[in-house]
Structure 1
Amino acid sequence: MELRQFWNILRRRWPLVLLPALIVLGLGLATYRPAPPSYNAGVRFIVGQPPGAAAAESDEQRYYNWLASEYIVNGLTDWVRGLRFAEAVVARVEADQGVRLDPHAIQGGLAADNARSVLTISLTGGDPETVRQGLNGVIAVLTEDNAAALPQLGGQTAVLTQLDEPVVNPLPAGIRNQLDLPLRLALGLLAGAGLALLAHYLDPAVRDRAEAERAGLPILAEIPREKKNKSTDYTDFTDGKINL
């Protein structure tokens, strides 16, 4: 089937094409709810261990200190992503601030990344105060209770230097929420086009010569469509007279 035939079918049955999209639009407007606000705060740490006595005299010792710092960052990143870390944060917040948080919400909102000896932590949530309390708990657990997560240090606590203070900021609405209704409308139009093609396929009527020829029917005559001619009436103002 040529593209022109597709276009003629869709133009002839345009109500069917628009019907699903109009239904989707109506339901989308009736059930529309703005996306709930979300907030995020983050903090960066540089991680290391106190140098040994020979570090000041040995370049090799300093190199191994930096290398150990990178391994420590990797281990802390994996620890932060686990549920046990989130449970430790919840317990710390409850003990220090008297607030009970959901450990699964803390784990779902936490994000950790590392580059060399720098560890980046961020927490996302739907309430700015909860984000602030949760991130304070994260900082406390991460800096004070990390010895149990790093048995390679032999019970020593890894030294984390906080590089910046966390600031809670609102997050803009995601692009997914903005494109949700337009994508549904596009799918509705595609469904309408399929519905129009199906209706054409099931319609037994013959609408043009090509369809009759494909059906094997002999063509005796063809009556062309009536075309509207432009009006030939005119007004003549010659010699001061009006002739119609």
Structure 2
Amino acid sequence: MELRDYLRILRRRWRLITVVALLVVSAAAAVTFSTTPLYASKARLFISTSSATGTSEAYQGGLFSVQQVASYAELASSRRLAETVIDDLGVAMTPKELVKEVSAESVPDKVLLDITVTDPDPALARTLAQGYAEAMTDLVRQLETPSGKTSAPIKATIVDAASTPDSPVSPQPVRNLTLGLVLGLLLGIGLAVLREVLDTTMKSAEELTDIAGAPLLGGIAFDTAARQQPLVTSLASHAPRVEAFRVLRTNIQFLDIDGTNKVFVVTSALPAEGKTTTAVNLAITLAQAGQRTLLLEGDLRRPRAADTLGLDNAVGVTTVLLGKVSLDDAIQKHTETDLHVLSSGAIPPNPAELLQSRAMGDLLARLREAYDIVIIDGPPLLPVTDAALLSHMSDGAILVVRHGRTTKDQVEQSIDRLTRTDATVVGVVFNMTPARRAGSYGYGYGYGYGYGYGYGPTTREPKRRLLPRRSPS
């Protein structure tokens, strides 16, 4: 990953990073302010040898003292010394408890020994540190005095007596909260990068066009009211969603400037990605621009376009292909616009066979001659092959990709399915994008019939009486 990739992740996942950082800082604050304050008092001892007459003897005595200091530091944590301090001071502690509060450290290459006692009571910390220092001088004298002698060649002298500390050494709020913030940011960034690596859904318009190998025709922002008001005719003329479909309409018109008749299939990788709503609103917007437009419901398994427009789907594509109803009688007109609609008709047991039949080719040819543009609401590409067959018979497919849901693999598989049938992908529509990005456009085949694209019978009740037909010729 390059630097700009990390910057993009930070910009996209800043909420996650902020939440994680705040949680870590909060945890650090809770631990810090619930911890009992500890005070440390330190006494310093100087380890020396008896006077030497010559320089060489003084040097050797100094080396000996340096070597002994490390041993004395180890003796500070001994049970014997702890018992001595307890007896001398009369404190109500066990040797084990006292040893936990004491630490001794020898200064490197020096003959200095620091004894530090940490305790919640600053006065007791000072008393224990001073008691330990005095006990250590006695212990050194006892250990270093040769048998039969009255004086030791090496002794410990207190050079800095223990003092009562003014402020606690633990906890340290500023340090803890700063470390918590740094660790929280690192953890948040790590989680953001991990989530970005594991998340293969489409979130970038540039990446989408690279994978699809087709231009971006438009971006439709996510609208919570779209489920209750799916049609652009129910919105104000200046609404952002309406403007988005106008941009899409304009880009569609520039796909083939020299062509006089256009037939496009609107499809998606999977259901619930907004292909039907996109197809219906695109057709409405084209009709509002004065173009002779027909919306053909090409999803013969789970048709939704006619229901969205409030039209009857009792007759349509299937009844026309079977010769039960003429094309003129099957075409309906949307009352609020000049859009003509050819619904699916009765659900057939063999949708794929009907769609790739010669009769279907003849039907598309007639519609191509009668209308300026024909929008086909096709089924999704991955569950079934119907959309690929329709795309092969049309001037190209418009692939609808849902932001944050459609994965890169699904887009690649969809493009592959279209190219295998020699269909052309004329462009992609980025659907349900975050509102701030819409204006700037950014598993195998286990889908099967689990998404409801089976052959089971579907019972429907007519929506309303058929409106008067208008001849396509």
Same fold (TM over 0.5): yes
Whose helix proportion is higher, 1 or 2? 1
- Aligned equivalent of 1:149: 143
Residue 166 in 1 paired to residue 162 in 2? yes
Distance 1:163 1:148, change over 3 A: closer
Residues 21 and 181, structure 2, Cα contact 8 Å, conserved in 1 = no
- Aligned equivalent of 2:370: none
Match of 1:75 among 35, 54, 68: 68
Residue 186 in 1 paired to residue 182 in 2? no
Residues 44 and 121, structure 1, Cα contact 8 Å, conserved in 2 = yes
- Aligned equivalent of 2:89: 97
In structure 2, distance between residues paired with 1:31 and 1:45: 38
- Aligned equivalent of 2:111: 118
Residues 90 and 134, structure 1, Cα contact 8 Å, conserved in 2 = no
In structure 2, distance between residues paired with 1:219 and 1:199: 28
- Aligned equivalent of 1:43: 44
In structure 2, distance between residues paired with 1:117 and 1:32: 36
Distance 1:171 1:215, change over 3 A: same
The alpha carbon displacement at 1:214 in A equals 2.4
Q: Please give the TM-score of this superposition, normalised by the length of structure 1.
A: 0.65
In structure 2, distance between residues paired with 1:135 and 1:115: 21
Aligned with 1:99: secondary structure?
A: coil
In the alignment of these two chains, the number of paired residues is 215
In structure 2, distance between residues paired with 1:95 and 1:189: 53
In structure 2, distance between residues paired with 1:141 and 1:63: 32
Residues 46 and 158, structure 2, Cα contact 8 Å, conserved in 1 = yes
Aligned with 1:41: secondary structure?
A: strand
- Aligned equivalent of 1:177: 176
Residues 112 and 122, structure 1, Cα contact 8 Å, conserved in 2 = yes
In structure 2, distance between residues paired with 1:2 and 1:117: 51
In structure 2, distance between residues paired with 1:139 and 1:78: 15
**Structure of higher CA gyration radius:** 2
Identical pairs, percent:
20
Residues 48 and 159, structure 1, Cα contact 8 Å, conserved in 2 = yes
Structure 2, unaligned runs of 5 or more? 214-414, 416-423, 431-437, 441-473
Structure 1, unaligned runs of 5 or more? 228-244
The alpha carbon displacement at 1:71 in A equals 1.0
Aligned residue type for 2:90: G
Aligned residue type for 2:33: R
Residues 104 and 115, structure 2, Cα contact 8 Å, conserved in 1 = yes
- Aligned equivalent of 2:20: 20
Q: Please give the TM-score of this superposition, normalised by the length of structure 2.
A: 0.37
The alpha carbon displacement at 1:112 in A equals 2.8
- Aligned equivalent of 1:214: 211
The alpha carbon displacement at 1:181 in A equals 1.8
Distance 1:189 1:106, change over 3 A: same
C-alpha offsets along residues 37-92 of structure 1, whole Å, 9 cap, x if unaligned?
A: 3222222325122x5xxx6xxx43x6425522541353243133236x53233222
- Aligned equivalent of 1:231: none
